[in-house]
Structure 1
Amino acid sequence: MTFWRELGFGSNPYVVKPLPSNADGRELLVGRSAELRALLRRIEEGDTHVVLEGPNGVGKTSLVSVAAWVAGERFRKKETTHLYLPLPEVLQIKEDASEFISDCYFAIARAFLENEETLKRADRKVPRTRDVKSWLEAPVLRGRGLNISSPFGGGGITGGTAANSSTGFSNAGFRATIRSWLRDAFPEGTGGLIGVIDNLELLETSAAARRLLEEIRDPILQLSGMRWVLCGARGIARSVAATPRLNGVLSDPIEITPVADEFIPQLIETRLQHYSVKDTSKAPVSTSSFEHVYVITHKNLRDSLRHAQSFSQDNEAAFFLVKSESEIDLAFTTWLEGQAISHEASVKMQPRTWKLLEDLADFGGTCSPSDFDQFNFNDRAHMRKNVVELERYGLVNSSKDDDDQRRRSIEITSKGWLVHYAHSQGLGMPPIPGM
């Protein structure tokens, strides 16, 4: 951390990872008051699990993390009798339902271990966790005889050894015990654990997502004492939320759009102040430069922070200490253009494919296969051919979703927006002779 210390910061102010579920996270969540209120209403007052839909990098996970802390603070301040606590990790969706279910039970068990003291202070029934903690931390259980007693109660694990794996954790005794812990600690209407199921779009098609969610409906989504928040991009969350078997289980999606431009100065200034340890701290990326990169990345906060961090660390601390703000702003603009030109130089596409990228950017950066006529293609097949070429260079992500052709499943990537910036501004074009 010497680099940031030299500039007057305790640590990296452009950290990319989601905001923590604590007071710091709440302070740093800027421009999300309306979304935070809407999410808390669904968590605290609804009886269906919450669904968030929004572009990758827009801040969905940070929003849920802070919401869980705010809900917990209300209990600590005695503003409510509902106790909410976050799971210790975000759960990434998987195609294998059995493996994903095991991941969920693992996370719930760890949540009880990590929140044991909080539950005790709240006068909630706390399970005996010492044996479970030892079991969770041991890579292999060894026992005598042909049957090993599970510390969870109920059945046992057969054989002389049992690996600490999803297979070992799938026994009925473990799951039954977790369910009883949840019921005892969070009786109906008294709160629960808040878990995040992220990246639904990784399942590629609406049909695959629907199958997975239907498989986990009873073992996971019907767990008493759990409040789940499902997050997805490229339209998949909205596509699966209203299916018949999930009706009454999942809420209508909350659309999470990018932080409004008007809040970006406050957002970055709040970060700089929060991480500053000296009045004379020197920001590598000024507020105006951050606003500039935020526009170029199509308002992707995660990508904007990543670029700010990369530029900062591509230079020595002394560079920022001796240069004026205007000089640093110019250096950042030059650096960003260099990144864009470098990416564009690696792309060799036909004019029609370039035109699709330009039109897609003008269209907002996302579209569905059924929008082919909006881009002057005769049919989906001709558009798909050009989309595949854009995918080959990493300029778009797309999901071939035959189940829902209306889903906005084609999306410009971070690299795509940089290439579009270079191409639309003519940054990589050779100078005109005599000019």
Structure 2
Amino acid sequence: MQLPASFLALMQELLGSEAGDFFEALSAPHPTSIRFNTLKNINRSENSDGVKWCSDGIYLPERPVFTLDPRFHAGAYYVQEASSMLIGEAVRQLADLSGPLRVLDLCAAPGGKTTHLASILPAGSLLVANEVIRSRYQVLDYNLTKWGSANKMATSQQVNQFRGLKSFFDLILIDAPCSGEGMFRKDPQAIAEWSPENVARCSVRQQQILADAIPMLKPNGLLLYSTCTYNDAENTDNADWLQQEFPLTPLPLNLPADWGIAERSIGYQCYPHRVRGEGFYLAAFQKSGSGSGSGKSKGAKKFKYYQALSRAGQQALKRFIRPDADLVFLESDKGQIIALPEAIREDALQMSAYSKYFRMGTPVGIIKGKDLVPDPALALSTLLHPEFPRIELDREQAIRFLRREDPVVTGPAGWQLVTFDGLPLGWVKVLKNRVNNYYPKEWRIRMSV
């Protein structure tokens, strides 16, 4: 690994006597870690090698071919760098999880931290995931779909387009675009793109994002600022700038010494020679001010592009949707039905007034005649009826299904949920002489087996 001379000098100054161990760690193989989806019923190994700061995270002895694991496509776990799982510990320590929260993950793609939040937040919470780059937004939306949470809203727009949402969110996570120093041993391209000038540009950009976001945070609300880099300009300097320029107070975390996470002047840093993970910086702040913030901005009276689903339409959904779910069903102008938890309807309605491009809730399907053609997202959702007819596949059958080939299965006529290891994968329709595969072509496995 050929590192830029200016980066070597920067880290030598930052780490002093630890610099040698740091550079040696960058030459070692990076660990592979995953985080399990607690929203789904998963068979977990009792002897797994756990991530110290995340009870749902484990290290794998080697990196498998995730594309060929049906459980990966079922949303059973997320392949996530271990250091970044520290976000979950910060939320558990600092956020009030006794009741519903409004939460914004502002720079959310590809979705690791958003799905982590989805597993932690109390029932009735609204989770908004934003990604300004449209191609990355599509990846984010797919990963949220696999995770199965129903209380989500995915948006794609610039931060300043949310400005009307004054004092709306209880928690804002800003995992800011950065120079990527913490990814050097995983991504050689990050080394090629690094320069002191790029560090300076990133720092300025991060401050702009932060400044646009802070008005959306309620008084007493929690701000989490993170990067995957090491330098002070993007980390502690920006954290100090935050407390100087805004009514924000840094909050400490209780991190055991044996975790190896370094405490900085403001915030905390993961270094690869201290932890089994990559470079990651995290600082937490509480916004001062009186009151809780009404969060009432310009309110929309109805959702754009959607109207309430008819009673007849709702009747067609009954056998697909779990009976204990308190939901609002909306139908788009194109006939697409979505399910939105009643608990977040008003919050999602307010958000929609400031969102030009968004997806919310869970796509349920389209009614043709009197019957529902179920959406692939419903198969992966926690809203799915637990007693819907299903066909369990072995690994070979599951791979065939995920490649969008017609699986060799038998079952009663009509819609069937196909599963692997008890985890839903998608839909097939059993006809008299064949079985049709309804797995989306854009999701299919293209890798040769």
TM over 0.5: no
Structure with greater strand share of residues: 2
Structure with greater helix share of residues: 1
Q: How high is the TM-score relative to the length of structure 1?
A: 0.27
- Largest Rg, 1 or 2: 1
Q: RCO greater where, 1 or 2, for CA within 8 Å and sep 6 or more?
A: 1
